[in-house]
Amino acid sequence: MKVSYHGHSVVKIETNENTILIDPFITGNGNCDLDASTVKADVILLTHGHNDHVGDTVDIAKRNDSFVVAPFELATYLGFKGLNTHPMHIGGAHEFDFGKVKLTQAFHGSAYTEEENQQIVYTGMPTGILFTYEGKTLFHAGDTGLFSDMKLIGERNDIDLAFLPIGDNFTMGPEDASVAAEWLQAKQVVPIHYNTFPLIEQDGQAFANSLSSGMGKVMEVGESTEL
C-alpha cells in the first residue's frame, strides 16, 4: 500500500482497490496540499471528534459516497448528517473488505464544536487506529498524551509505520513522543500534528533525529512511502 502525509494529522492510504483518508482536516489547514472539493475517498477513518480531525468529512463523504469508520458516538453524530457510517470502540477490531481496523485508546478529548450554535457536541472517547492490509500495519495515534500501554500496543503488534503527534500543548510534545516511539517499536515513526498553528510549532527533524537510528522519518506534505 502507498501511504502519504498531507499536513496536520491527515494521512492517505492507497491500496489496489481503495483510497482511504484518516482525519481529513483540509479546509482551514494551511499545511495541506489536498483540495477538499476534488479529493477522492472510498473510506474515511476518524480518530476523534475535534474539528481539526473531522475536518471536511461530511462534504467529502457525501460527494464520494464514502464509508466512514469512527468511534461510536462520532459515527452516530455523522450518521444523523446522512453519512454511511460504521461505529467502533476502543479495543474492538473489524475485518473490512478494504483492510482490518482496530481502535486503541488515546488520552485526549473528543467533541465537535458547532460554531454557529456556540455548541459543543460530545463525540465519545478519542482513539488511535491500527490499520492492517496485506500483512502490513500502520498505527495512527490520533491526538494523545503519553501512556504506558503504548508498550503493550508495541508488544502485540508488528507496526511498520507509526504516526505520532509531537505538537505539545494539546498532545504529546517531542520528548514524550520519543518515549512513545521507543515503546511502540515501529519500524518507522513519522511526526504529525505540528506546525499547523503557532501553539504547536515544533522541529520535526530534531524529533526524528532523537529516535533510534533509522526509526525517525519526517514526511513532507504530499510525500509518500510504500509499505
Res 213 pLDDT > 90: no
For 60, residues 6+ apart whose C-beta sits below 8 A from its C-beta are 21, 24, 36, 39, 41, 44, 66
- Mean pLDDT over residues 91-96, rounded? 98
Nearest to 181, CA basis, from 207, 143, 202 = 207
Does the pLDDT of residue 10 top 90, yes or no?
A: yes
- Residue 36's pLDDT is 97
Instruction: Tell me what pLDDT residue 118 has.
Output: 96
User: How confident is the model over 146-168, as a mean pLDDT?
Assistant: 98
- The CA distances from residue 206 to 131, 174, 184, in Å, are 27, 9, 19
Amino acid 185: pLDDT: 97
pLDDT confidence of 146, banded at 50, 70, 90? Answer: very high
User: Is pTM, for the whole model, over 0.85?
Assistant: yes
Among 60, 30, 32, CA closest to 44: 60
Residue 189 pLDDT greater than 90, yes or no: yes
- CA 126 – CA 116 distance, rounded (Å): 24
Q: Are strands 188-192 and 161-165 parallel, antiparallel or unpaired?
A: parallel
pLDDT at 15 over 90: yes
Distance CA 224, CA 227 (A): 10
178-187 burial, b if ≥16 CB within 10 A, otherwise e? Answer: bebbbbbbbe
Are 124 and 74 within 8 A, CB to CB? yes
Rounded to an integer, the average pLDDT of 138-145 is 98
Which whole-number Å values give the CA distances from 70 to 16, 95, 225, in the listed order?
A: 23, 14, 25
User: Once rounded to an integer, what is the mean pLDDT over residues 28-50?
Assistant: 98
Mapped onto helix, strand or coil, the DSSP state of residue 20 is strand
Domains of the chain: residue spans and CATH: 2-220 (3.60.15.10)
Alpha helices in the chain, H assignment, sequence order: 51-54, 57-64, 72-80, 150-156, 174-184, 204-210
**End-to-end alpha-carbon separation of the chain, Å?**
5
Mean pLDDT of the chain: 98
Give pLDDT, residue 210.
96
How wide is the angle at C-alpha 126 spanned by C-alphas 46 and 68, nearest 5°?
Answer: 20
